[in-house]
Amino acid sequence: MSGDELFARFAYPPNELGYCGPADAAHAELASHAREFDGAWPYLKTLADAAGVADPLDDDVVRSYWVGGRLLDKVDSGELVTRLRRSFAGQVTGLLNDLPASAPTLAHHSFHVFVVYPWVRFLDRDPTTPLRVMQDCRIRWGTVESIDGEHAEIVSRRLTMKDAMLTLGDPEIERVHWSKAGESLAPVPVRGQTVCAHWDWVCGALSDSDAEALESATRSTLDLVNSVRTNHH
């Protein structure tokens, strides 16, 4: 799959909701508007530089940002933080400005959701809404349990709070679209398949190694968030 197509699969769900990127853009057009996705673009640029490739929409770069993989290890943590602080200067962020110099950051979507977005700031007030938004915004992995019309039921671990820590809960059923009005982002999922989801959409199947990379990146970012939050309490 091309980097353009992969980017469009993951970028469409929040774009459909009006959260990022251009208004009224068709799914197939999204990659050509990638620079307008202010959240994703700095990470893609950083990953491309680390990989030594000119195109931030290179397929390995795009997959590393949304899913994960070994390319994440090539990015210097300090350089990433410097770039992100410059990119989001003047915006309200979560823990971005609280990170210690030695923080093991990742140029991964989970880092943007849990660290850069401001929702993490509100967990101590009432975690209900922040948890719901971060759960929907993060890329989840799960096993297809059943297909019901244009919906799929997948078994996945929901983001939750336990002992004041962000963590992944026990596996439970989650209902998401694989198609809407006949339009889909990926082929119809099948029972037993491991897929990833973003907001209300299935974005495609995951290989075992992709699922492991996504879980590893997600858990690493959660560990960082919990460490920073604990040190500031």
In degrees and rounded to multiples of 5, residue 113 shows phi and psi of -70, -45
Cβ(103)–Cβ(80) under 8 Å?
Answer: no
Alpha-helical segments (H) within the chain: 3-16, 41-51, 59-66, 77-87, 109-111, 128-137, 208-231
pTM given for the model: 0.93
pLDDT digits (tens, 9 = 90+) for 112-140: 999 999 999 999 889 999 999 999 999 99
User: At 203, which helix (H) or strand (E)?
Assistant: strand 201-205
Mean pLDDT of the chain: 91
Mean pLDDT to the nearest integer, 176-190? 94
